[in-house]
Structure 1
Amino acid sequence: MFVAKYVKRDRFLKELSLGVLIFFSPFLVQFHLLFSETDTTFNLYSWEYSHGYDSNLAYAWMVLLHIIPTLLIVVYYFHTIKIHRYAILVCLYWLSYDFLKQGTNLENHWLIPLVILLIPLFSFKNKTSNFFNNFKIARDSGLRNTFFCLLLVLSPIIGTISSNISFEMKSVDFHLFELGNFGFPNFATFLWYLALKLLVLTPMVVFFLSEKKWWRYALLSPILVTMYQLRTGLKPEIDVIDEHEIFEAMPLLLGILLILLFLAKPAYYQNKLKTIYQKNHTRAEELLSKKYGNKSGEFENLKNRFLSFKEDRDKNAILEEELLSLKSQLENELQKSTTS
């Protein structure tokens, strides 16, 4: 009971922290500027790590390009319906696979991320039945969830294509038009960069459209910054990417921040009212139990039936008349308890 009260009381703080984390996540890419443009190894006392990149700055940039979408997708994983989680695991697998491929010298690096695909076996109860029930829920809820899951599953496909293209290729000729490398060293690198940006943009757009809580507007921050970064990346004449886009988007980011501050105040008071209600409700139940003992048992049974019918009304096709009848029985039982 104490744990439940504590979680209830801190729900607003949890949501606020989540909003702050999401809003400022795109700013993490700026940290790569703190690393050296000339050094090619990391040294800590006698330990030395050689990454094979042209500079520590380039390596740090590559690492942050993987950390940011991974962080955001993990948040999405824990705040969405289960059917979306299966699709999200595909994105997490590709991000882990690509990071190990780009940033380490491990052999068979594709095997390690397979552990991610085992997450549902440990995180969901009644694994097999839940797996198929979740797909039934997605089907019954219409095309919306099916379309969202399809987008999530297909998000890493560009990155997969980039892994199978020769680094010698500079462009692709589609007869009607030619797709170049947009200033990147080769076409494969351009597709790789595009894939990492789409792995921020696509899941966050889906997350924003499916989430209903007030902090969802914080998702506009990574969406907006990623769009600015993509715009810069598609300009061949620009040599520097992922550095100045935060400042270009700053006016709009400030507007998003003001919206979040405006929504946070009523959310705080709403959470406070819910906490007071929960506390009074728990206190009333304790008093009833103490005063009437077993006499309140029938009332508790009726109340639980009423709440169960109310929650599952649509699923079980419970008639409105049955709910009204049960409500009337509840009122009568409560009246008997108070007059006896």
Structure 2
Amino acid sequence: MNKNKWINKYRRELFFSTYLLVAPFFIYLHLLFDDESVTTTIFGFKYHHAPSSTQYVIWLLINELTAFTFLILMFFSIDQKWKYVLFIPLSIYVLDLAGLSGLYIDVDSRVLFLQIAIISAFATTLIKLDQCIYKRKRTRSLIFKLNTLIHMYFNNSHIKRIVPRYKGKIQNKEFANISDINKLYHRKLYIKDLIDRYAFGDYFIKPIKGNWIKAFWIILILCSSSLRIAYGYIPKGIPAIEIGLLTIDANGFLDASMFIRFISLKIMILVPLVIWYLNANFWWRYALLSPIILYMYQFWESFQDINSLDAYGNIKVFPLVFLSVLLVLALSRVVRQQSQTLDTYEEISMEIDRLIKKLGKERSGVGDYRNRYQQILDKLVHGKSEEAQLAELTRLQQELRGKII
């Protein structure tokens, strides 16, 4: 059994939360590239992507990659069947990334066949990985109320002081004797009280349950993906598009199709992220606030009269993002301590089991003493060397007392 199961799980979740906090800022890397160049050099290979500029291609690539990794994390962190609807936006990102990589060049007549092959391979890999992760890695998560976490942050001195001391004593084999079972048991009860006092309670926002809400999630994800699919059928160069009573104009973009392309990129990832946040029950859900806040602001910004998007103007919303970062950092400290508490509890339980097994082995010979006792009595009854048999009986008594006490 892994003695550091909970702390290892905490480290994985800390990595995921750090990525969710930091990844939205990758988009600003496109500002480092030339807005006039139509050629990108990567590892000595030149890619010509006229008429799109290098800055635009890098912006699009970062958008697609970041959103794709977010959805992959979402897919593997959810254990409900409705998550398979995420395969639709994930497939869109896979095909877009394949196009950006130049995979479709010189295969014009076989593009559809190639896309079907890519999607089939991706679907097979995704399902196999999900089965593997579900069996091996998906275990019980640390669940807390937000107000409980805050309380623990300011009132956890006893945990920081006592739990490491217990853990150190176990690792140093200070409880190696059978007589230490009682001490270990009292320590186990104390740590169990700490765990029950804080951990595995309800969460701050409970996931909404019911088949109707699952159907609603599915519809929302399908609608957010359909806007991206519709972009491919919108004619280029048209300043406005009329859909019934709705008119969509360019809003400062080159044409209406470019505007739809931009907002579809934001909506297709923003909707799943909000659903993920509302449906999640792990402590690092608050890391999702970072991308949600940034994507919401960038979506709102696309309707404003400004010259550049996903650029320096986003600094206005950074204070809110940094608040979410500070919240996750503070919570991670508490969760780390609670993970250590859980590991210590399980170590004490294993040590108690070990000592009980040791006691069982040492007492397993009691039956032999019963046979020896009966033999001594038989010899005494028949009057055979009474003094020797009485001495043997005394030794047997002392030996047996040493085993039991």
Asked whether the two chains share a fold, i.e. TM above 0.5, the reply is: yes
2:277 counterpart of 1:208: yes
Instruction: Name the structure 2 match of 1:189.
Output: 258
SS in 2 for 1:185: coil
Distance 1:75 1:171, change over 3 A: same
Which residue of 2 is the match for residue 71 of structure 1? 69
Structure showing greater relative contact order (alpha-carbon pairs closer than 8 Å, 6 or more residues apart) = 2
Map of 1:30 onto structure 2: 28
Pick aligned residue for 1:264 from 311, 316, 332:
332
**AA paired with 2:258?**
T
AA in 2 matched with 1:40: V
| C-alpha separation in 2, matches of 1:65 and 1:124 | 24
1:100, CA displacement in angstroms?
2.8
1:166 corresponds to 2:217: no
Deviation digits for residues 232-265 of structure 1, max 9, x if unmatched?
Answer: 1112x32211112441111111221222233223
1:291 to 2:359 alignment? yes
Q: Is the 8 A contact 1:63 1:103 kept in 2?
A: no
Q: CA deviation at 1:124?
A: 5.3
Q: Identity, % of aligned pairs?
A: 21
Displacement after TM superposition at 1:45 (Å): 7.0
SS at match of 2:115: coil
Superposed CA deviations along residues 266-312 of structure 1, whole A, max 9, x for unmatched, are 2122111101011111222222233326x99xxxxxxxxxxxxxxxx
Ranges in structure 1 where 5+ consecutive residues have no aligned partner: 127-139, 297-338
User: Which residue matches 1:123?
Assistant: 129
Q: Which whole-Å deviations, capped at 9, do the CAs of 1:4-29 have from their partners, x for residues lacking one?
A: 33443322222222111101111000
Distance 2:226 2:54 in 1: 28
Indicate if the aligned counterparts of 1:228 and 1:245 stay in contact, CA closer than 8 A.
Answer: no
Q: Is 2:327 the partner of 1:242?
A: no
Match of 2:115 in 1: 110
Q: CA deviation at 1:49?
A: 1.7
Q: Determine which of 141, 144, 151 is the counterpart of 2:213.
A: 144
Instruction: Report the Cα distance in structure 2 between the residues aligned to 1:291 and 1:160, rounded to whole angstroms.
Output: 69
Structure 1 position 53, deviation (Å): 4.0
2: CA distance between counterparts of 1:62 and 1:259?
30
**Partners of 1:60 and 1:156 in 2: CA distance:** 22
Query: Alpha carbons of 1:27 and 1:45: their partners in 2 closer, same or farther (altered >3 Å)?
Result: closer
| Change in 2 beyond 3 A, CA 1:168/1:217 | same
Q: TM-score, normalised by structure 1?
A: 0.75
* Kept in 2: contact 1:229–1:245 (CA 8 A): no
Say yes or no: does 1:48 pair with 2:46: yes
CA contact (8 A) 1:15 1:215 kept: yes
In 2, distance between residues paired with 1:45 and 1:243? 27
Residue identity opposite 1:223 in structure 2:
I
Aligned to 2:181: none
RMSD of Structure 2 on Structure 1 (CA): 2.7
Change (3 A) 1:67 1:247: same
- Rounded to whole Å, the distance in 1 between the matches of 2:220 and 2:38 is 38
Cα distance, 1:281–1:154 mapped onto 2, change above 3 Å? farther
Match of 1:20 in 2: 18
Structure 1 residues 123 and 185: CA distance shift in structure 2, 3 A: same
Say if 1:28 and 1:84 are closer, same or farther in 2 by CA, change over 3 A: farther
Alignment partners' CA distance in 1, 2:103 and 2:10: 44
Moved over 6 A (4+): none
Report the more deviating stretch, 248-257 or 145-154: 145-154
Question: Are residues 96 and 218 of structure 1, via their aligned partners in 2, closer, same or farther at CA, if it must alter by over 3 Å?
Answer: same
Displacement of 1:31 in angstroms is 0.7
SS of the aligned residue for 1:89 comes to: helix
With over 3 angstroms needed to count, the CA separation of the structure-2 counterparts of 1:44 and 1:173, relative to structure 1, is closer
Larger Rg: 2
Offset from partner CA, 1:146-177 (integer Å, 9 cap, x none): 32233223321001111111113321224645
Q: Which moved more, 1:11-20 or 1:225-234?
A: 11-20
